[in-house]
Structure 1
Amino acid sequence: MARVAGRFRRVEPRRRARAYVLGLLSPLAGKNGWTLAEAAGENTPDGMQRLLNRSAWDAEAVRDDLRDYVAEHLGDADGVLIIDETGFLKKGTKSAGVQRQYSGTAGRTENCQLGVFLAYASAYGRTLIDRELYLPQSWCADDGRRTEAAVPAKVRFATKPALGL
């Protein structure tokens, strides 16, 4: 946490980010807003949700700090990068990128979002180092839907392999 603590301007989100990461690394059976909040000693998931949705911090800068940490501790000339997608099943239509599409997670076409993830593996260990939400062409062409879901104007359509690269 010392490496990323400066990415959080206030002490409250810094402490909550630490509790969030510790929860993710814990042996909790299910890791969602409620269970992570309970593990941190909080009564509701509101604080964890606020950290992820409204607190001011630079996710890309934290990702870069993680990448530097991984290079220092897991880096190896024989290390490899792994690109994979994961589906997140959804019931509604409002979440950015959600539509009926094939999800390998479900093994069929479902209403879902797709994330493209980059992992690094070496003889010293493995970890995720980056992520990107796949935004289907239908979403990219629908300005109203993009605005409602707060998809930034700079986000353009990219294939999943392009996102991985």
Structure 2
Amino acid sequence: MGGNLRRKQEKARPMPRQYLLDRAMWDAEHLRDVMREHVSEMIGDANGMLVIDETGFLKKGTKSVGVQRQYSGTAGRIENCQIGVFLTYTSLAGHTLLDRELYLPKSWINDHDRCREAGVPASVRFATKPQLAARMLWRTLDGGLAVRFVLGDSVYGSYRPLRAGLETRSQAYALAVACKEKVQVAGSRKRVDQVARQLAAGDWQRLSAGDGSKGPR
């Protein structure tokens, strides 16, 4: 879909495109919902998967909304950056971004003058990255997109309300958790590292996520 849009842009005159990106008023949330319906029609599949992840956008100044010195996985260290939480959809037919939320640190939320200057609505409240991810998941799942699994790392898997919300919806998931996390097994709560140690070697199956620069990942 992105390639088709890019080819159309290359053929179009520059001014209409600049107007759309710079000055046109349009409802981003409505467009997100329309795109989700389009994704469902084009690449929706009963075995489709939702993937939650975050990424950082390195910045030089202090005016970009949400910017501060914080850890960025993109840089692999603490940098002056913005952090976005993203929800993607993947199936055998293709993959695409579905939704996004900008993480606003407390340093921003608690500075009302700074938020007002940057155009942040007064109604915006602080939300952790897992809470932002949950918002996107509930919107998407309630929208009827076919999903078999929800995937994410321990930042999101360790947020129990997210896992509980998925279980309430009978939605299967594969979310990483910290080794100290406790889960319900045979009527009792156990740490996941204890459960893992009780499994036999034959209970595990190692799969590659694809080829990396140093071989299979």
TM-score by length of 1: 0.72
**Any idea what the Cα deviations from partners look like across 1:52-102, whole Å, max 9, x if unmatched?**
343111111111111001111211121111111111111000111000000
Q: In the alignment, does 2:87 pair up with 1:104? A: no
Match of 2:123 among 143, 148, 154: 154
The number of residue pairs the alignment matches comes to 133
Aligned twin of 2:92: 123
Name segments (4+ residues, structure 1) moved above 2 Å.
38-42, 46-54
Q: 1:139 to 1:53 in 2, by over 3 A?
A: farther
Q: Distance in 2 between matches of 1:49 and 1:98?
A: 25
Counterparts of 1:3-152 in structure 2 under 5 Å?
A: 22-23=5-6, 40-42=12-14, 48=17, 50-152=19-121
* C-alpha distance in 1 between matches for 2:84 and 2:103: 6
- Taking a change above 3 Å as real, the CA distance of residues 147 and 84 of structure 1, as seen in their structure-2 partners, is same
Q: How large is the RMSD of aligned CA atoms in angstroms?
A: 2.5
CA positional deviation for 1:39: 7.1
Return 5+ residue gaps in structure 1 as ranges.
2-20, 27-35
Superposition TM-score, scaled by structure 2 size:
0.55
Structure with the greater alpha carbon radius of gyration: 2
% identical equivalent positions: 64
Change (3 A) 1:54 1:152: farther
Name 2:215's counterpart in structure 1: none
Mapped partners of 2:52, 2:44: distance in 1:
17
Structure 2 gaps of 5+ residues are 135-217
